[in-house]
Structures are given as C-alpha cells and as structure tokens.
Structure 1
Amino acid sequence: MSRNRGNTSLRSKRHPTNPMRDYDLLPAELRNWLSSAMLPWGAKSAKQAYEKAIRRTGNKADALKELDALQQRLLMKDAPKVWGDQYPI
C-alpha cells in the first residue's frame, strides 16, 4: 500500500493516538506554520520542537523562524539520500 509520506530516509513512528485531535489541539500559529511545512511533521514532534524553540527564543515569531531553520537542516540531511548528491537545495 502506497503512503503519502513520499520517499524519505528520515525516521518515522506510528503512535496510537488520534492525529486529527492532536493537530486540533496545537496552537493556532503552529497549525498555520504546519500548513505550509515542507516535511510531514507529526503533531507531537512539531509541538515539542515549537515549545523548545519558544523556551530558547522567548517569543513565538522567533520560535517559528527556528522551526524554519530546523526544517531546512532536516531537508539538507535527507535530500542527498533520497535524490542523490547532485540534487540542489
């Protein structure tokens, strides 16, 4: 069965939770960020990264910028494994 996660070397886990409920419980600004995210973030991992970024930066806007940087690092880590070393990022 084909899944919509695409081809990735990044780790994934299955969780016995209700993903829609978990998503709905996220802060509005994080849900908005996730709606345009380039990676298939889970609600739990996105919330953990967001809360850690808020603790580090002290505000929500800077925390979202940190999530952008984290996502870019993950893409740069994964792209050569998925598309080959010559793929431009």
Structure 2
Amino acid sequence: MPARRNIATSLRRRADPRPMDQFDRLPPDVRAWLARAALPWSPRSVQKLWRRALRECGGDPARALARMDLAEARMLAKDCPKIWGRAHPLISAC
C-alpha cells in the first residue's frame, strides 16, 4: 500500500536523491527563508525560484526574498480553498 501523505499542496513532488546536499549548497539567506517557509518546498525548486527572483530584482537579495515571499503567498492562496474549503474562516486570511 502506498504511503499516505498528510500534506495537500499544488507543489509538484520530485525525487531528490540527496536533498540535504542541495539544501547545504543554498545561500544562507535562502536556507533561512526555506526553514521558515509555510510550504514544503524542495531545495531544487527554491534554488530555481531564488535565481529567477534575483534576476527579476536586479540582483538585490532583499527584494528577491520579498519576491519569494510573494510567490509562497500566491501558492497558499491557491491551496487554501482546496485544503480547508471555501467556507472555512481561514480562507479570508489566505
């Protein structure tokens, strides 16, 4: 029987043979962001998001981290109704 997952998210799951090695190679600011993230991001997807955010923000790390916060907020807003339903009081917070 397949293992049940208790996390419902629209983030795609990928097989990462050594995710901690990928995590260790992330810049310290990005590792800190990932440690406090609300969603279970993979190091690979965070690296991709970080590079795109840096490029879009002209290389400014603070603005890139803010862009990553915005990306996560969008993912949460997308996932909230699916997880808790549209009538749930938390939806207004999402």
Same fold (TM over 0.5): yes
CA pair 16-66 structure 1, distance change in 2 beyond 3 A: closer
Calculate the aligned-residue CA RMSD, in Å. Answer: 1.4
Q: Which has the larger radius of gyration?
A: 2
CA pair 11-41 structure 1, distance change in 2 beyond 3 A: closer
CA pair 11-35 structure 1, distance change in 2 beyond 3 A: closer
Q: Give the structure 2 partner of residue 57 of structure 1.
A: 57
Task: Please list, as runs of the form range in 1=range in 2, the aligned pairs for 1:1-89 lying within 5 A after superposition.
Answer: 1-3=3-5, 6-58=6-58, 59-87=60-88, 88=90, 89=93
Displaced runs of 4 or more, over 6 A: none
What residue ranges of structure 2 are gaps of 5+ in the alignment? Answer: none
Query: Could you tell me how far apart the structure 1 residues matched to 2:40 and 2:16 are?
Result: 17
Alignment deviations for residues 12-50 of structure 1 (CA, whole Å, 9 cap, x no partner): 323242011010011111001111000000001001001
Fraction of identical pairs, as percent: 34
Measured after TM superposition, the shift of residue 2 of structure 1 is 4.4
So what's the TM-score if we normalise by structure 2?
0.84
So what's the TM-score if we normalise by structure 1?
0.88
What residue ranges of structure 1 are gaps of 5+ in the alignment? Answer: none
